[in-house]
Amino acid sequence: MRSFKIIALMLVVLLVLAACSGQKGPKGPEKIYYPDWWQLQDSPEYIQTYGMAEKVSQNTSYDAAYANAMLQAAQYVESYVKGMVKNYQEEAGVENPTVTALTSSVVKVVSSSKFANAMVTKQETIVTDDNRYKTFVRVSIPKEAVNENLVDKIKKEEALYNAFKASQSFKELDEEVEKY
């Protein structure tokens, strides 16, 4: 009988210890994984944009990540082009509503056009704990392609071209494009 009490006591102690060890307390923040090259802008000649996607298929994960990078590129280029065109307008003192409307049209066309020589320069795919594919993509677009596209679109809009061709900034942009 005495050995039965000792065994029962040991079982109770083991159960209490097992029950207490299961609670680990609140979990702290976890670091989310990104490749070491993620969000780096390491080349002044290129506009580098990034996309990420998580899907059940490796191909759809890559396609979605690439699409996200291209969307980011379009948004970046639109801001970049708007900034350059705004500088030209301020320098030339353009207040003509027709020129302003044409400028908006040029910005939309340049930012929505397909990017010449866009290339995926980095890509990484990992398999998550729940067997999904997470893909990271870096797309690099030569700045000269964006600049050439902008100059071509401005030259095609005669009123806009006439307003900007006397601009020192436009001359500098044109010279920069000619270097390539």
Q: Does residue 22 sit within a domain?
A: no
146 within domain boundaries: yes
Domains contained in the chain, number: 1
pLDDT of residue 23 exceeding 70, the answer is no
Range of the domain at 53: 43-174
In this predicted structure, the answer to whether residue 46 has a pLDDT above a threshold of 70 is: yes
92-112 pLDDT, tens digit per residue, is 555 555 555 555 555 555 555
H or E element: which one contains 136?
Answer: strand 133-142
This prediction's pTM: 0.62
- Of 58, 48, 42, whose CA–CA distance to 128 is shortest? 58
Tokens of 28: 């702290």
- Rounded mean pLDDT, 73-88: 70
What pLDDT, on the 0 to 100 scale, is given for residue 126?
96
Report yes or no on 130 lying in a domain. yes
Q: Is residue 4 part of a domain?
A: no
Is 62 a residue whose pLDDT tops 90?
yes
Asked if residue 32 belongs to a domain, the reply is no
With respect to residue 71, please indicate whether it lies within any of the assigned structural domains.
yes
pLDDT digits (tens, 9 = 90+) for 161-176: 666 655 655 566 666 6
Rounded to whole angstroms, the Cα distance separating 42 from 36 reads 12
